[in-house]
A and B are shown apart, each in its own frame.
Chain A
Amino acid sequence: MIDFSSFLVLDGGMGTLLQEKGLSLGGVPEVWNLEKPDIITEIHRNYVKAGSDVVYTNTFGCNRLKMARTGHSVQELIQSAVQNARNSGAKYVALDIGPIGQMLEPTGTLSFEEAYDIFREQIEAGNDTDLIVFETMSDLLEVRAGVLAGKEHGNGKPIFVTMSFEENGRTFTGCEIPAMALTLEGLGVDAIGVNCSLGPEELVPIVKMLCEWTTLPVIVKPNAGLPDPVTNTYNFTAEKFGECIKPFVEMGAVIFGGCCGTTPEHIQKLTETLSRLSPVERNPVIPSAVCTANHTVIINQPRIIGERINPTGKKRFKQALKEHDTDYIMNQAIQQIDAGADILDVNVGLPEIDEVEMMQSAVKAIQGITDTPLQLDTTDPIALEAGLRIYNGKPIVNSVNGEEKSLATVLPLVKKYGASVVGLTLDENGIPKTADGRFAIAQKILNRALALGIRKEDVYIDCLTLTASAEQEGVMETLRAVTRVKQELGLHTVLGVSNISFGLPNRELVTRNFLTMALYAGLDLPIINPNTESMVSSVRTYKLLANIDKNAVDFIAHYGNDTAPALKPPPSAQSTMSLESAVTAGLKAEASAITKQLLETIDPMEIVNTQLIPALDKAGSDFEKGKIFLPQLISSASAAQGAFEAIKTYLSEHSTETVNRGTIVLATVKGDIHDIGKNIVKVLLENYGYQVIDLGKDVPLESVAEATEKYHAPLVGLSALMTTTLPSMEGTIKLLNERCPWCQTVVGGAVLTADYAEKIGADFYANDAKETVDIAKKVFGN
């Protein structure tokens, strides 16, 4: 085992030393493990002589993607690298793993599962090392994939992670220091820190913050200053480098080394400095907090958990789940965040769908567009683990309860993935009537969590809201339990608030007042509908009155210009505007409000056929004539989308009928990640009542064929923006011709022309979104 009670010295730079020995600028350092093993071992040995306890194998980029063109396997390169490192006589040999070099979805095209498998291969090949190091990492999700692979395939070896931060305290992908610390300490990594990107001086505030956010040993492995853009040399001498690590020792860092531009000489000076110093003990107090890679929410005051991503009692939501409509879920996420949610509950369970797959899709979709932390809400442990696995950050698990079965299945998952957990105060005997009974279950849940090594700060207790109409005497018991849990156990509390008013008139009034009472009783995490302004304003008012919102800064920011926030009329509910003018003017909220009014007296399909489509046709024809441009056309399409959403909601509540003038599969082809054009086409097609199966971007050929088969779609739309991805468009069409001879294809995208479309065998070429609609009308004869 590695001893962290004294300093541990790592090695320094490898790349620049190899270039000095003749490696070309674009050369592959890993190949030298086989071709020039003596040089590699000599560099390692020089570091050992200089004082390094640990040498990193020469395998920074040694993954199957980066090594693909070398003619060597990952296994042979890593195994030779390990041997070269061992030959240096180092005390410890670390398997060095850098970023994969391709970005993960949704910004890039690499899936989490592929990333995991790439790391697994490296870790298995480097089995004969003493520890695993991930360094120069930027994307926290990629790190998570690596750490999980390390935990699951590394035979219990210690894992170190260092990430590269810029002066703003974030990595290139935006990951912030507290999020890195919370997530990786939660996953059970052995030491964390920083390397590369900056020199020692710029790293001071970054390491200071990291030391405040983790109890783990902290690693500092800086560059030798900053590089000169013209000469590419680094500006720190070995002496200066050796001196400037002192502040990090004072902060409590214990593991040191060098990155770009450092040499054995730098490490020797570093070792000399350390020999004169002793490790400084740190006792950081890490608060209760949850996070995504880019945003941390500290539970040091009431934080709103938005409850709307949940199908219970919502027909439109159920329909969206059945149709795998992640756009709808994303929209619900954005609305709640705009309204003031700090955390979002995500419940996508429905008996007739695959909840495991849906949980992953929903988490990926929401995390692709927001930084707000999530609370994974499911009773299915498999769906829970599926969500926890791919979640980027530290989430909340909703929930465990006092039943033995629940404790035994849920808590180990919470521990493994480093989440926080909501404990419901119920057990095999149901919900205890009294506060004392619920307190006892809370205590039991806490003890079980602590026994597994889950921190007390990560356990939030839900004392359960009963409906006032059915169990009026229970209301105050719930609040008494909240107070006891908070004061006597010192735990944070959570409550689903809305339930209180079920079955009563004027629900909002009841819920709002209960919310304020609960906050006063000690509620930290109210689960509410943030789209109801009075709920959010009650929380803000409470924070003002409880002296949490100092000087009423937040309160004034929200209500300073508003004399009566609750009395705002809904947008244009009484409007006399026609649907056509709302669509023409691009007014989404108005179009939605007018449609809702019309639905009271007119059949939904009649609205679509006699008002919505003629309005869109007019916009389309103005566009063709050059009277308006694409943005105005899309503006009308957006407004029509508002009207359509109102119609869909109405239909899901009132009938089994849906609007469907024909099914069209849409995809941005394999390899291409530019999907704005495709998304515009989708909105317009949906406006005309077509059911669009949107497969997204970078879609494999087979997936297009599978979806076309599954829906027996008569029309498939393919887009590509880049010349390099046109071959995948051609391949997709070829595969469709073989497997789905009934379907026709329409293609579009910046580099396409009618001639080229014909050449690759497409049935139609569309120059813009409007033309795609015209083609759809032709194909479907409507």
Chain B
Amino acid sequence: MNIAHVERKQAFRYMCLPSEPDAHFLEMADKCEKMLLSAVKPNYVYRVFPIESTEQGISGGGLLLRGNDIKEHLKECSQVVFLCATLSAGADRAIRQSSAFDILSGMMTDAMANALIEQVCDKAEQEIFATFPDNYFTWRFSAGYGDFPLDTQADFLKVLNAEKRLGVTLSENDLLIPTKTVTAVIGVSETPIPKGKKGCAICNLSEKCPYRAKGVHCHD
């Protein structure tokens, strides 16, 4: 897949820079964006499964989805989409390379990669929405949110065959590698879903979130 530009305003926001920063930063942004886009190979895979109720809880594709938060998230849904999107190991390399040149460039490249992986997820979502034009969808819920355990990742990747199809692996501590990789569960429903917000209550970072401190949301 091709993405021509990084959503810079998002990247600047992640860095706590104004949306129109000084020329010095803009020049750096040009360089980092060019380097990042030439280094990455964004890609995604997804699969769709009916949601099944078992004695232990709900599951999709034979994968048990543990915890109350994911159950709540999918309560209106009959099917579930498992999505994995990655920028590839090239992103990690680009961040290392720019950090070695200058730590600020490293930070800028990192922020841009964070913006870019969201763009890739958005593109994947558009494709999914187009595949099911008559359905409604929840927002993307990831392992590690609320009480949806992070150790779901291993089986999640297996169900998607993500290692073979995307080159995505898991470290001993269940960290996704390449690091600029996202896995998400999207619920599919036949009826409109109340537009739930990505809640702060289940976020691990809520205690010290700079956005929350200012009374806004990270996804605004």
Contact = CB atoms under 8 A, between A and B. Distances in A.
B175 A680 contact: no
Interface in A648-706: 671-674, 676, 679-680, 683
B204 interface: yes
B164 A102 contact: no
Given A173-B89, A722-B175, A588 B103 contact: no
A676 B106 contact: yes
A588 B47 contact: no
Interface stretch (A105-113, A148-156, A429-437, A610-618): A105-113
A103 B159 CA distance: 19
B195 interface: no
A136 interface: yes
A108 B41 contact: no
A334 B100 CA distance: 8
A107 B171 CA distance: 11
A363 to B, nearest CB: 15
A136 B155 CA distance: 20
Contacts of B174: 724
B164 A631 contact: no
B51 interface: no
A103 B169 contact: yes
Contacts of A671: 171-173, 175
Nearest to B90: A174
B107 A168 contact: no
Contacts of B202: none
B62 A103 contact: no
A95 B179 CA distance: 32
Interface stretch (B67-75, B91-99, B115-123, B134-142): B91-99
A334 B98 CA distance: 10
Nearest to B91: A107
Interface stretch (A266-274, A534-542, A634-642, A771-779): A634-642
B131 interface: yes
Contacts of A26: 62-63, 155, 158-159
Contacts of A629: 15-17
A676 B107 contact: yes
A107 B41 contact: no
Interface string A122-150: 00000000000000101000000000000
Nearest to A28: B158
A327 interface: yes
B148 interface: no
A587 to B, nearest CB: 8
Interface residues of A, number: 62
A574 interface: no
A197 B100 contact: no
B45 interface: yes
B207 interface: yes
Interface in B162-178: 163-167, 169-175, 177-178
A174 B88 contact: yes
A722 B21 CA distance: 30
B104 A635 contact: yes
A350 to B, nearest CB: 22
A751 interface: yes
A588 B99 CA distance: 15
B47 A172 contact: no
B103 A634 contact: yes
A235 interface: no
Contacts of B158: 25-26
Contact of A171 (B167, B172, B173, B179): B167
Contacts, number: 159
B90 A672 contact: no
Contact of A107 (B24, B43, B103, B178): B178
Interface string A362-374: 0000001110000
Contacts of B208: 753, 767
Contacts of B17: 629, 631
A260 interface: yes
Contacts of B173: 671-672, 722, 724-725, 728
Nearest to A637: B103
A724 B159 CA distance: 23
A340 B167 CA distance: 32
B64 to A, nearest CB: 10
Contacts of A631: 15-17, 21, 25, 104, 107-108
A453 B179 CA distance: 42
A229 interface: yes
A172 B41 contact: yes
A680 B15 CA distance: 13
Given A25-B62, A25-B159, A229-B45, A108 B99 contact: no
Interface string A354-392: 000000000000001110000000000000000000000
Contacts of A108: 169, 171, 177
B107 A634 contact: yes
B41 A168 contact: yes
A109 B171 contact: yes
A751 B209 CA distance: 10
A99 B62 contact: no
A369 B97 contact: yes
A489 interface: no
Contacts of B108: 631
List the 4 shortest-distance A-B pairs measured between CB atoms, nearest first: A172-B167, A671-B173, A629-B16, A26-B158
Interface of B: 15-17, 21, 24-25, 39, 41, 43, 45-48, 61-63, 88-90, 92-93, 95-97, 99-104, 106-108, 110, 131, 144, 150, 155, 158-159, 163-167, 169-175, 177-179, 204-205, 207-208
17 contacts: A26-B62, A102-B171, A107-B92, A107-B93, A166-B41, A170-B41, A172-B89, A172-B167, A174-B93, A369-B97, A629-B15, A634-B107, A635-B104, A637-B103, A671-B171, A673-B179, A724-B150
Given A103-B171, A138-B167, A631-B17, 9 more contacts: A101-B169, A166-B43, A172-B89, A173-B89, A229-B131, A230-B47, A631-B104, A638-B103, A722-B173
